[in-house]
Structure 1
Amino acid sequence: MASAQTTLRVSAIPDEAPTELLRKFQPLGQYLERTLGMKVSFVPVTDYAAAVEALAAGRVDLAWLGGFTFVQARARTGNAIPIVQRQEDQAFTSKFVTAADSGIRGLADLKGRTFVFGSPSSTSGHLMPRYFLMQNGIHPERDFKRIAFSGAHDATAAWVASGRAEAGALNASVWEKLVQSGKVDPARVKVFYTTPPYYDYNWTVRGDLDPALVKKLTDAFLALDPAHPEHRQILELQRASRYVPTKADNYKGIEAAARAAGLIK
């Protein structure tokens, strides 16, 4: 008989700098340790694909995934289970940004320009921006002068601010955080297009995790209450107003977009 699990291993797609991911996770990790009555350890990964692989290989039990990485994890494992998402993730958007003096006012102005996406496996930094470009008759490989991948949303903003790329796409949540923290000057870098909304991030567990632990985890996230000071700090770090239940069917639109963009077969 297998012994009861004593440590919950948690990971996250590296959509921001590693130090920032760890800073955001620590209060949540401490809360989960107390609520679950077990040790919680954070397992950093090098890129988005590694987060999917870690979950598929059983090296982590719980992972913070984007919509596209969830679709990849589900395809890879057949049984990865999304348990909760932030309320904001039910209608997430991407922002297209450019230097204020670039002359780019809309998507049509991107033709012949250099463009930066985030990670190739990012929902809000690549898949959905690519999908909505194609919906507007713009094919990146054909129409852009050059395409690059910065690896993370904050890096995309930095590329555009420094002139390394003429325009780029990143998620709305990170964009707002960068503006609020003064790391991006909206007088120098402006948003010129916001995508229609789509489902994005979630917390996903491996499909063979003990169902009793899955329920405890789900309940722990749903119990986070912004009226409670400690909970409010956790939610603010996760840029969440609260967590709501989610299900695999919510991500069928992401899967369809990935197929349409040729990113999964």
Structure 2
Amino acid sequence: MRLLTVLTALLVSSSISLSALAETFSFTAIPDQDESRLQERFGKVAAYLEKELGVKVKYVPVKSYAAAVTAYRNNQVQLAWFGGLSGVQARELVAGSEAIAQGYEDQFFVTYLIANKRSGLSMSDDFPAGIANKTFTFGAKGSTSGRLMPEFYIREHFKKSPEQIFTRVGFSDDHSRTIALVQSGAYELGAVNYKVWEDELAAGIIDPSEVSVIWQTPSYPDYQWSIRGDVDARWGTGFKAKVKQSLLNISDAEILAAFPRQSFVEATNDDYQPIKDTAMAIGLMDAE
């Protein structure tokens, strides 16, 4: 009886109810890499958050960027690790949603254009006009680094759509597959998240004799953690702030290396206005 009294007092003081403790807090992430790597990364995040938040936490894998946005919209998950574009899209669909944290590196993210060595293209500081009339694969259709930003700069340079510039345009669905397709020669060129490239290069997955970086975009804001605005109503006043602080406090070297990020820093919706503006400029989002 005394234990129950103490537990009840703790719950009242922390604004978390017994029913909230029993409810699972769920999160997802855009599938930008191999599924096994994502499971390993976000399984560790789930265990960390469960300990920090004092509630059950579950990682919910999805098959596509669109599925991540849909799960968030439908309240199947309350938190998500989105790319810049998918985050903007998701927050537009759920009133009160906020970007609360981003990787330190996400403040100045870049995309690499990569080329198979048989293309004859090499690294250049200037936009590589020689990419015209070759085959090209983007990442996922909803990817910021794999589609939105590279397409913006390609359109800006040529004043044409990708379909008018390249002999064949594909969508690989994730960055790891983009690298594999260009390395194998299935596509001559591709656009890839620079963090995935550097991670796979360090892991020995990339063969530099077959594929290389030929250009990088100017920097832009990218990945972020976004949270629904109704979490305090379900888990108690201050729960959103507690989730945010838990993410900012991640210091476990294994978790950070799995992203890979050196740390997480604060983010706001306003940080991603440039992504929204770019998406509207090339027709990936409707103007308000």
User: What is the CA–CA distance in structure 2 between the aligned matches of 1:38 and 1:215, rounded to whole Å?
Assistant: 15
**Residue type at the aligned position of 2:249:** A
Indicate yes or no: 2:218 matched with 1:192.
Answer: no
Indicate yes or no: 2:260 matched with 1:239.
Answer: yes
Structure 1 unaligned segments of length 5 or more: list them. Answer: 226-230
Could you tell me which of 36, 40, 46 is aligned with 1:19?
A: 36
- In the TM superposition, residue 71 of structure 1 has moved relative to its aligned partner by 1.1
- In the TM superposition, residue 141 of structure 1 has moved relative to its aligned partner by 1.6
SS at match of 2:231: coil
- In the TM superposition, residue 120 of structure 1 has moved relative to its aligned partner by 0.3
Indicate yes or no: 2:248 matched with 1:222.
Answer: yes
Higher mean C-alpha displacement, 16-25 vs 113-122: 16-25
Higher mean C-alpha displacement, 59-68 vs 214-223: 214-223
- In the TM superposition, residue 12 of structure 1 has moved relative to its aligned partner by 0.5
User: What is the CA–CA distance in structure 2 between the aligned matches of 1:74 and 1:215, rounded to whole Å?
Assistant: 17
Indicate yes or no: 2:141 matched with 1:120.
Answer: yes
- In the TM superposition, residue 2 of structure 1 has moved relative to its aligned partner by 9.9
SS at match of 2:192: strand
Q: Where does residue 20 of structure 2 map in the other structure?
A: 4
**Deviations along 1:137-184, whole A, 9 cap, x unmatched?**
253121111100000000000010111101000100000011000111
Could you tell me which of 35, 47, 71 is aligned with 2:52?
A: 35
Q: Normalising by the residue count of structure 1, what TM-score does the alignment of the two structures yield?
A: 0.94
Could you tell me which of 176, 198, 212 is aligned with 2:238?
A: 212
Q: Normalising by the residue count of structure 2, what TM-score does the alignment of the two structures yield?
A: 0.87
Q: Where does residue 47 of structure 1 map in the other structure?
A: 64
Q: Where does residue 182 of structure 1 map in the other structure?
A: 204
Higher mean C-alpha displacement, 137-146 vs 16-25: 137-146
SS at match of 1:27: helix
Q: How does 1:245-264 map to 2 (within 5 A)?
A: 245-264=266-285
User: What is the CA–CA distance in structure 2 between the aligned matches of 1:232 and 1:22, rounded to whole Å?
Assistant: 17
Q: Where does residue 201 of structure 1 map in the other structure?
A: 223
User: What is the CA–CA distance in structure 2 between the aligned matches of 1:118 and 1:97, rounded to whole Å?
Assistant: 12
Q: Which has the larger radius of gyration?
A: 2
Q: Where does residue 132 of structure 1 map in the other structure?
A: 153
User: What is the CA–CA distance in structure 2 between the aligned matches of 1:183 and 1:203, rounded to whole Å?
Assistant: 28
How many equivalent pairs are there? Answer: 260
Q: Where does residue 75 of structure 2 map in the other structure?
A: 58
User: What is the CA–CA distance in structure 1 between the aligned matches of 2:95 and 2:163, rounded to whole Å?
Assistant: 32
**Residue type at the aligned position of 1:183:** I
User: What is the CA–CA distance in structure 2 between the aligned matches of 1:128 and 1:79, rounded to whole Å?
Assistant: 26
Alpha-carbon RMSD across the aligned residues, in angstroms, is: 1.5
User: What is the CA–CA distance in structure 2 between the aligned matches of 1:234 and 1:16, rounded to whole Å?
Assistant: 16
**Deviations along 1:58-91, whole A, 9 cap, x unmatched?**
1101111000001111222233211100000000
- In the TM superposition, residue 3 of structure 1 has moved relative to its aligned partner by 3.5
Q: Where does residue 72 of structure 1 map in the other structure?
A: 89
User: What is the CA–CA distance in structure 1 between the aligned matches of 2:140 and 2:95, rounded to whole Å?
Assistant: 24
SS at match of 1:186: coil
Q: Are the aligned partners of 1:107 and 1:133 in contact in 2 as well (CA < 8 Å)?
A: no
User: What is the CA–CA distance in structure 1 between the aligned matches of 2:158 and 2:263, rounded to whole Å?
Assistant: 37
Query: Which aligned segments of 4 or more residues in structure 1 are displaced greater than 6 angstroms?
Result: none
**Residue type at the aligned position of 1:241:** Q
User: What is the CA–CA distance in structure 2 between the aligned matches of 1:256 and 1:162, rounded to whole Å?
Assistant: 35
SS at match of 1:101: helix
